[in-house]
Structures are given as C-alpha cells and as structure tokens.
Amino acid sequence: MNASALHAYGLFHIENGRFLCAQRNGEDYLICFSTEEAAKEFREALGVQEHCDIIGQTLDMYPFQAFYLDEEFVEIECRVV
C-alpha cells in the first residue's frame, strides 16, 4: 500500500484533540474512510457531528501506523525522515 498516495478521512474530536479509534489486540487503529461522504455518514450514525471534525489527508500524514479503513484493518510501515 502506498500510504503517501492514499487519501483518507478521519474523525477528530474537537474538545479533546484526539482522533476516533478502534482497538484490536491492544493497538489503536484510526477509524477512517476513503470518501468524505462515508466519514460524514459514520459521524452522523454515531451522533457526534457537533463534536467531531472530519480531517482529510494522506495516510502517511496521520500520527498512526494502523488504520481501520473502510471496515478493514490495515497497517503501514514507518517512514524515515
């Protein structure tokens, strides 16, 4: 997977400054979607539209290596800067 080419939309909690995550085997996975519309639908289904912004950027720009992207768990390799 080319993390610098894949654009994803995550939910960012306005008040606590954290992304919404799912846990699997004790590891946090950023919940994100390949379309902004899907992220909006998920945010509305949770009833958190007043509390969460949608952040869209490439996967490599998020502070995560593990993602729950479109209902699939994926991991990316660390990038060396």
Number of alpha carbons in the 13 Å side-chain half-sphere of residue 68: 15
18 belongs to a structural domain:
yes
The residue segments making up the domain with residue 12 are: 7-75
Residues 2-59 pLDDT 10s = 777 889 999 999 999 999 999 998 999 999 999 999 999 999 999 999 999 999 999 9
35 belongs to a structural domain:
yes
Residues 6+ apart with CB under 8 A from 10: 19, 20, 30, 31, 32, 33, 39, 54, 55, 62
- What pLDDT, on a 0 to 100 scale, did the predictor assign at position 14? 96
56 belongs to a structural domain:
yes
43 belongs to a structural domain:
yes
19 belongs to a structural domain:
yes
Residues 21-30 pLDDT 10s = 999 989 999 9
- What pLDDT, on a 0 to 100 scale, did the predictor assign at position 4? 78
1 belongs to a structural domain:
no
Residues 6+ apart with CB under 8 A from 49: 40, 43
80 belongs to a structural domain:
no
39 belongs to a structural domain:
yes
